Structure 1
C-alpha cells in the first residue's frame, strides 16, 4: 500500500511513455502509480498503456487510472486491487481500508505529476474521480467518488488561471 505520509513532490518520479505529451492523449490517457516502502518514493508512468513492468504482481498495491469519456462527460477512472481469492476476508478488509486512506495521496501525485496536461485541459479539473475497489468480497467491491482534480490542486499551490 502507499506510505502514510503527506504528498512530497520531491519523492515523485515521473516517466512519460512514448507518444504522450501535455496535449495527447486525452481520452484513454493512463496512469500507473507504484511506490517503494523502503524509500517512500512514488513512481508515476503516464501513457497510452499501463506500465505493467512497474507492477509487483505478488503485492498488487498499484493504483491504475485512466481518463475516460462516457456520455459526453470525462471521468478520471481509477482502480485498486483489493482481493481476488488469494486473501482471507480480514486481510482484504485491511487492504481496503489502507487503499481508502492512501488514495488521496495517490490522486494528488497523479494530478501534480501531470500538471502540464491538466493545465492545458482545464475542463478536466472538474471531471469526477471514480475509483473501483476490485474485490471478490462484496463489501469491498465498490466504486467510490473521490471528488475532482480541482479538489487536489490546492495542496500544491499551482495557479489555474
Structure 2
C-alpha cells in the first residue's frame, strides 16, 4: 500500500458546510481513482452520493456522531457486499478495505484539518469503521485510533499497529 500523499487529495465542501459547521452529523464521502491514485473528499451535511460509483461501491463514508455518553466518535462504513457478490469476492473486497483503510482515514482527517483547529478536542475522539456485509465473518466493527494519528502525513506510517486493525 502506498503512503498518504496530501498532494493527491482534493477536498470539496458541500454548501452550506464550512470548516466550522456542522459538528454533529458532519459527513465525509471519500472516493478515489485507481488510475491516478487521487483521493476525492467531500464534506457536508449529507453524503456526496453523486460521486459514488454504484457498481464498484469502494467509497468510505464517515460522520461525527455522539455516543450514549454524549461524546463524539467518528463513525465510518465500508460497503463490502449486500448479497450481490460471492463469498470469495466479498472476502477480497473486505481484505482490500482493511488494507486501504489507513490511507482512506488519512485523506478524511487530513482533508479536514481546519475543522480540528476549531474543535481541538476531537483530535482524540475514537474512530470506528463498520464493515457492512451479508457474510458474518466480514460484518464487523474495527477501531482505528484517533484523528491525531492521521493529521501529520510526514510522520504517518501507512500501517497502524496490529491491535488497531483488529475487530
What range is the shorter-chain TM-score in? Answer: over 0.9
Paired with 1:154 and 1:33, the residues of 2 have a C-alpha distance of 18
Q: Which residue of 2 aligns with 1:20?
A: 17
Q: Which residue of 2 aligns with 1:124?
A: 122
1:52 equivalent in alignment to 2:30:
no
User: How many angstroms does 1:9 deviate by?
Assistant: 0.7
Paired with 1:152 and 1:74, the residues of 2 have a C-alpha distance of 17
Q: Which residue of 2 aligns with 1:10?
A: 7
User: How many angstroms does 1:146 deviate by?
Assistant: 0.4
User: How many angstroms does 1:154 deviate by?
Assistant: 3.5
User: How many angstroms does 1:156 deviate by?
Assistant: 4.2
Paired with 1:62 and 1:80, the residues of 2 have a C-alpha distance of 7
- Structure 1 stretches of 4+ moved >3 Å: none
Secondary structure of 1:155's counterpart equals coil
Q: Which residue of 2 aligns with 1:61?
A: 58
Q: Which residue of 1 aligns with 2:101?
A: 103
Q: Which residue of 2 aligns with 1:115?
A: 113
Q: Which residue of 2 aligns with 1:150?
A: 148
Paired with 1:36 and 1:43, the residues of 2 have a C-alpha distance of 8
Out of 81, 84, 91, the position equivalent to 1:83 is 81
User: How many angstroms does 1:150 deviate by?
Assistant: 1.0
| Contact 2:110–2:152, Cα closer than 8 Å, also in 1 | no
Q: How many residues align?
A: 154
Q: Which residue of 2 aligns with 1:141?
A: 139
The TM-score with structure 2 as length reference comes to 0.89
Secondary structure of 2:43's counterpart equals strand
Paired with 2:23 and 2:36, the residues of 1 have a C-alpha distance of 32
Superposed CA offset, 1:30-56 (max 9, x none): 000000111111000000000000000
The TM-score with structure 1 as length reference comes to 0.93
RMSD: 1.0
Structure 2: 5+ residue stretches without partners: 156-167
| Contact 1:112–1:156, Cα closer than 8 Å, also in 2 | no
Paired with 1:9 and 1:74, the residues of 2 have a C-alpha distance of 26
| Contact 2:5–2:153, Cα closer than 8 Å, also in 1 | no
